[in-house]
Chain A
Amino acid sequence: MSDVLDVKVWRGTVEGSFSTYRVPRQASQTVLDVVTYIQRVLDPSLSYRFACRVGMCGSCAMTVNGIARWTCRTHVAKVAKGDALEIAPLSNLPVIKDLATDMSEFFDKWARAQGQFKGKLTRHDDFAQVEPASKARVAASAGIECIGCGVCYASCDVVAWRPEFLGPAALNRAWTLVNDERDVATAERLRAVAGDAGCHSCHTQGSCSERCPKQIEPTAGIAGLKRMVAKAAVRGTL
C-alpha cells in the first residue's frame, strides 16, 4: 500500500470517460473524502452529491469499483483494489453530470407504488395503539429505516431489463405500509404493486438485500407482497 491512491472518476453524462486523479491516502479515509478532496483541491468542476456525511440522508451513493455503495460510510481501505479506486455514478439512473444522477424517476416510483401513508384518524381521535411485537409491526419495522439512497435500485437487474419496474425501494415502502395497521389504502396499494411493473417481476436474485447499506431485505418484502396480492386475488378484492 502506497501513500497515494489512483482514482478513476467518471466525467461527463451518458457520454464521457474516466479521468484519473492522484489522491493522498489517509487513515480511516472514506470514498466520499476522496471525492471531496478531488473537488476541493484538484478539480473544482467535478459534480457530485452529498449532505449529511453520516449515513442518514441517502444522497451520496455511487458505484465504487463496480458496486453501488453509500460513499460516506465506505472506507477506502475496505474497497480499494491495491491503490486503485474507480468511482462512477449509480447505474439505472440518468446521469446529470459526473457523479450526480437524476433520481426523479426513482422517487416517482415510490409515489406510483402508493408509497404515501393514508390514515383514517384525525387530530381529534386518540392515538392508535399498535402492539410492537405483532407480526405486522415487526415486518414493517424491518423495512422502515430506508434512507432512499438508490443503492438497491442501481443494483437490480430487473430495473435494467424492465424500465417500468418499480424497484426494490418503492416496493419495500409499499410493504411497510401494508403492514401498518393504521393505514387504510391497502387495496389500492396492492393493485399498484401487482403485475409487470411490480412485485411479480422480481426474480428474487437478492442483489438489493445483499447491497442495502441499512441491511434491509427488500427481497423478503417483495415476496411478502406477492403472497398478499395472491390472497387478495383469491378473495376477489384485488
Chain B
Amino acid sequence: MAMTNSSSLAATQAKHWYWQRISAMVLALCVLLHLGVIIYAVRSGLSAAAILGRTHGSLLFGGFYVIFVLACAVHVPIGLGRIAEEWLGCSTRAAQIGARLFGLLILLMGLRAVYGVVLA
C-alpha cells in the first residue's frame, strides 16, 4: 500500500514536471508571437474599433490565443502550488486545490476574453 501511494505520488509529480515543461515551451513561442502582435497592433491604432476590426471573426487570432490561454492554465497553477507549499507553508493538498481553482479562473477569464474579441 505504501509502495502504491509513493508510486502514485511520484507519478503525479513527474506528470506535473513534464506538463510544466511542455506548457513552458508553448508559452515561450506564444509570448514571442504575442509581443509581435503588440508591436504590430500599436502601429495601426489601438481604438476598440481597430482592435475588433483585426480580431473579429479571425480563426487564426482566436486559435492562437486559445492555445495561449490553455498553456497559461496548465503552467501557472503548477508553479503557484509550489510557491504556496514552500513559501506560505500550505499542505500539498491545500496548495493543489487552491492552485487548480486559480488555474480554472485563468482558463475562464482567458477564454471569455478570446470569445469577446473574436466571436461576440
User: Which residue numbers of A lie inside 8 Å of B, CB to CB?
Assistant: 161-162, 190-192, 194-196, 198, 200, 226, 229-230, 232-234, 238
- Given A191-B6, A238-B10, A233 and B86 touching (CB < 8 A)? no
Asked if B92 and A238 sit within 8 Å, CB to CB, the answer is no
Consensus secondary structure, chain B interface: helix
* Contact assessment for B6 and A233 in the assembled complex, using a CB-CB cutoff below 8 Å: no
Say whether, besides A161-B86, A162-B86, A196-B92, A190 and B17 are in contact (CB < 8 Å): no
Q: Say whether B17 contacts A191, CB under 8 Å.
A: no
A154 → chain B closest CB, angstroms? 19
The answer to whether A200 touches B16, judged by C-beta atoms less than 8 angstroms apart, is: yes
Give A162's nearest chain B residue, CB to CB: B86
Return the contact of B10 from the options A161, A162, A191 (Cβ within 8 A): A191
B7 touches A229 (CB 8 A): no
Roughly how many angstroms separate A234 CA and B14 CA in the complex, as a whole number?
9
A-B contact count (CB 8 A): 49
CB distance from A235 to the nearest CB of B (A): 11
B38 to chain A, nearest CB (A): 30
Residues in chain B near residue A230, CB distance under 8 A: 14, 17-18, 21
In chain A, what residue has the closest Cβ to B82?
A: A201
Given A198-B13, A233-B14, A238-B10, 9 extra CB contacts under 8 A: A195-B10, A196-B85, A196-B92, A198-B10, A200-B16, A230-B18, A230-B21, A233-B10, A238-B7
A interface, over-half SS: helix
What's the Cα separation between A178 and B14 when bound, in Å? 17
Task: Find chain B residues with CB under 8 A from A195 CB.
Answer: 6, 9-10, 12-13
Q: B: which residues have CB within 8 A of A?
A: 3, 6-7, 9-18, 21, 85-86, 92
CB distance from B20 to the nearest CB of A (A): 10
19 A-B contact pairs sorted by A residue (CB < 8 Å): A161-B86, A162-B86, A192-B6, A194-B10, A195-B9, A195-B12, A196-B9, A196-B92, A198-B10, A200-B13, A200-B17, A229-B10, A229-B14, A230-B14, A232-B14, A233-B11, A233-B15, A238-B11, A238-B14
Residues in A whose Cβ lies below 8 Å from that of B21: 230
Asked whether, in the complex, the Cβ of B7 is within 8 Å of the Cβ of A191, the reply is yes
Min CB gap A233→B, angstroms: 4
Q: Check B13 against A196 for contact (C-beta < 8 Å).
A: yes
Chain B residues lying within 8 Å of A229, measured Cβ to Cβ, are 10, 13-14, 17
A-B complex: 3 closest residue pairs judged by Cβ atoms: A194-B10, A233-B14, A195-B13
Pairwise interchain contact B86-A194, C-beta atoms closer than 8 A: no
Q: How far is the CB of B66 from chain A (nearest CB, A)?
A: 26
Point out the residues of chain B lying under 8 angstroms from A198, CB to CB: 10, 13
Please, how many angstroms separate the alpha-carbon atoms of A229 and B7 in the complex?
11
Complex Cα spacing A226 to B16, Å: 11
Distance in angstroms between the alpha carbons of A198 and B16 in the assembled complex: 14
CB contacts (< 8 Å) of B11 on chain A: these are: 194, 233, 238
**A234–B7 CA distance with the chains assembled, in angstroms:** 13
